[in-house]
Structure 1
C-alpha cells in the first residue's frame, strides 16, 4: 500500500500505460505523468508491466508510484490480440479494442487500492492520462463524482476513419475491425465515463467531433504529444548545395505512406535533386526494397532500419524536410520531433499532422485519392526544389512553436492549469483554452 507522503492534496495520475523505455502511448503516458509529478508531487498509478522501467528511472515504489497487477486478464487479452491481428505490426484496432474491453478491471483494482484515500480528500484531482483511446471506459469517473473529487480524462485521441480510396492499405493493415468503428459509443460504460468526467482533454478536433453534443462544454483541446528538448537538441541547416535532403521517420506499414512518397518523389530522386533517408522498420520492408529497385532509386534512398532517438536526430538534423504523407495518423509525434530540429514537415492534411502543421511552419497537401496525393506531393516537392527560400523561415517558426507549446514542461504547465481550474470549482465560463495550432 502506498505511503502518505504529503498532507496537502496532490493529483492522482492514472497512467495504465506509462513506460520511459518504450515508445508511442507508453512513452506519452510516462512523459506527461512524470512532468506533472515533478511540479506537483502527484502519485502515479500504472500497470505492473511498467514497474521495472520506472524503478530504473529512479522513482520509488509506494512513494512516487503504485503498480497495479492486472496481468491475469491483460496477458490473456494480449495473447488473443496477437492471434486476431493477423501479422506482427498490423491490426492495431483489434489490439485497442481488446485493451479497452479489459481496461475496466484495471480501474476496479485502482479503486480497491485508492478508494478510501480518494474519498478522504487526499487527492486534489484524479486524472486519467492513459489509455489515450476514446474507446476505453471504466468506473473511476462515476466513483470520483460520488466522492466529490474532480475527475479529468485525457488527452484522448483516435478514431479517425480510413479515408476513401485506400481499401488496399486498410486490408494490408488487417484493419477489418475498422468496419465496426463507432460501436463503442453504444457501451453504457463509455457514456458513463464521459458523462461523469468533470473535464475531457481531446488530442484532435476529429476526436472532439465524435463526442456527444451534451459533453462539448467541458472539452479542452490539447494535442497529446510533446518532445523532450534534451533528446532533440540539434539544429538542421538550410540547403546550400542545390540538393534537397528529405527524411521519412516511422514504421514501414501501409498507412504511413512511404509508398506514396516514393512514387511522388521518384523523378526528383532519380534526377539527383532530392535524397531520402528512411528511418524505421516494419512488415513493408521487403516490399519497399523491391519498389526501390523497380523505380531505380537505390542510389538516392537509404533505408537505415530501426534506430534509437539519438541516432534519429543525428540523421534527421542533416535533412531539410520531413516527408511524412501518413493517411491515418492520430498524434503525429514525429512531426513535432522534426519541427524541434528545424526540419520542415510536408504532411497530408488529415488527422494529427494536419492539425500540428500550419502554413507558417510547414507544408500540407490535400487529402484525396492515392493518385491525387501522389500528384499533389510531387508538385509540392518540385516547388520546394525550385525555390527553397521559404525553408529557413518555416524552420525557425517551427522550432519556436515546439519550444513554447510542445515540450513536456510546457504540457505539464497546461495540465496543471486544468487541475487548478477543476480544484477551484470548474466554472464553465472560465474553462482553460490554449493557443495550439488547429
Structure 2
C-alpha cells in the first residue's frame, strides 16, 4: 500500500478545494504540494469529493472524503443565518462551524485510528481549519499512539485597527470583540501541548502562541502561488501609470479610500485604475467616482475568473490595495508573482509579505492618514515611474524563492524532518 522509501504523511484538510478560493484553496494547494515531497493521503470533507475527482485524484488511493454532513450542513445553514449578510460576519461563521468540526475529527479517527496506531503514517498533519481557535482531538490521540501531530498553518484574528469601527460594524463583526476568549476554551492548550510542531501563518498568530511552545513553532506565511495559475509577466501598456485593485468591494478593503487618494492623478490623466471585484459597495463607488470627476479613468470590471484577473493585472504597473485587515494577503503575492508592484497598508498579512525593495508600504493610521499616504506614494510613482521596474523584478524573485507552493512544501517537509530526527538538529528557519 505504501512506498516505504518515502516519508508518509496523513494530511487532514477538512476545507480543501481547487475550485474555491480563500481557506479551501490554501488547504488544497498545500495538501497537494506535499505530494511532491512525501507519500501523502489527504483526508477532506465530503463536499470536496467531486472537485478532487475532477482534479484527477483517485479516491481511496490519493484521498478519503469524510461524510460529516449530519452536523456540518446544519451548522453552515445556521452560520449563514447569523452572519446577517452575504460575505459578512466571518468571525461568527468560524465560531458556528467550529462547533461541528470535532465530529469530523471523530470520524477521521474512526477511519484511520488503527492505521495511525500501527505506524502506517510517519506524521499526521492538520492543514485546515486554519483558525487557531479550533482545537484538535487528533493531537492527543496521535501523541498517545506515538505519531507526531503537526498543526497549521494557523492564522486569523488580526485585531481591527483603531479608527475603523464603522467598517467593523459594516462587516457585522460583533463576535470579534470576544474573540480572545478562545484562549480559555477547553482543548486549546492541550492541542498546542500535544502537537509536535505548530506552523503559524502570521506574526500576529505567532504572538498568540504561549511562550512555552515557541521552541516548536515555525513561521511560514499562509499563502502561496501556483505558477500554473499565475504565469504571466506584467507588461503595462505605454502611457501613464496604471494601477489595479483586486478584492471584494467592502469597507475594510478600502476601495473608497483608494478613489479619494488617487483622485487628482485620475482626474488629470496621470493614472488609470482597474477595479476588479464585486460587492455591496459597488454602486456607491461608481457614484463616488462620478462625484469626484474621475469615472472616465476607472474601469469597474466586477467579478472575474482568475485567468481574466491575471490578464488585467498584467496590464498594470501597480496593485493599489489599502485593505486594513488581511490575514494572509494572497492577492499581494499574486501581484508580486506577475511583477506588479504592491502598494499596501503596513499591517497584518500584506505588511509581512512586502519587504524593502519589493513594494511600497503606507503606515496603518487613521482613514485620513492612509488616504494621504496612498496619495503621496502614487504621486511619487507618477513622477518617477523608473522606480517600478527594479521593485517588480525583486517582487517576482521573492515569490519564486519563498512563496511557490513547491517551496512551501519543501519548508513543511523540513519541519517534518526536524521532528523525525528527534529535534536533535538545528531548528529550521525560513523567513
TM (normalized to structure 2)?
0.98
Larger mean Cα displacement after TM superposition, 345-354 or 228-237: 228-237
SS of 1:181's partner is: helix
Question: Of 302, 312, 316, which aligns to 1:319?
Answer: 316
Shift of residue 238 of structure 1?
5.9
Q: Of residues 31, 41, 48 in structure 1, which corresponds to 2:46?
A: 48
Partner Cα distance (2:150, 2:23) in 1: 18
Aligned equivalent of 1:279: 276
- The answer to whether the 8 A contact 1:239-1:320 is kept is no
Is residue 2:229 matched to residue 1:217?
no
Q: Describe the SS at the equivalent of 2:222.
A: coil
- Pick the aligned partner of 2:367 from 365, 370, 382: 370
Local SS of the residue matching 1:43: strand
Determine helix, strand or coil for the equivalent of 2:119: coil
Aligned pairs for 1:47-66 within 5 A: 47-66=45-64
Q: Which residue of 2 aligns with 1:392?
A: 389
Give the gaps of 5 or more residues in structure 1: none
Look up the match of 1:28: 26
Please say if 1:179 is aligned against 2:168.
no
RMSD, aligned α-carbons: 1.2
2:340 and 2:392 in contact (8 A); partners too: yes
C-alpha contact (below 8 Å) 2:242/2:315 kept by paired residues: yes
- Correspondence 1:201-280 to 2 at 5 A: 201-237=199-235, 240-241=238-239, 243-280=240-277
In 1, are the aligned partners of 2:15 and 2:128 still within 8 Å (CA)? yes
What TM-score does the superposition give when structure 1 sets the normalisation length?
Answer: 0.96
Rounded to whole Å, the distance in 1 between the matches of 2:60 and 2:28 is 17
Q: For residues 60 and 114 of structure 1, what CA distance do their matches in structure 2 show?
A: 18
One of 10, 13, 25 as aligned partner of 2:11: 13
Counterpart-to-counterpart distance in 1, 2:94 and 2:338? 32
By how many angstroms is 1:41 displaced?
2.1
In structure 1, the partner of 2:111 is 113
What residue in structure 2 maps to residue 128 of structure 1?
126
Task: List gaps (5 residues or longer) in structure 2.
Answer: none
Pick the aligned partner of 2:333 from 328, 336, 339: 336
State the alpha-carbon separation in 2 of the partners of residues 401 and 94 from structure 1: 35
Per-residue CA distance 1:39-84 (angstroms, 9 max, x = gap): 3121000000000000111111111100111111111111111111
Q: 2:73 aligns with which of 50, 72, 75?
A: 75
In structure 2, the partner of 1:146 is: 144
Deviation at 1:237, TM superposition (A): 3.0
* 1:80-136 superposed Cα distances (whole Å, 9 cap, x missing partner): 111111100111111111122221111111111111100110001000011111111
Check conservation: 1:348, 1:365, Cα contact below 8 A. yes
* Cα deviation code 1:353-398 (max 9, x no counterpart): 0000012100000000111111111111111111112100000010
> Is the Cα contact below 8 Å between 1:133 and 1:157 reproduced in 2?
yes
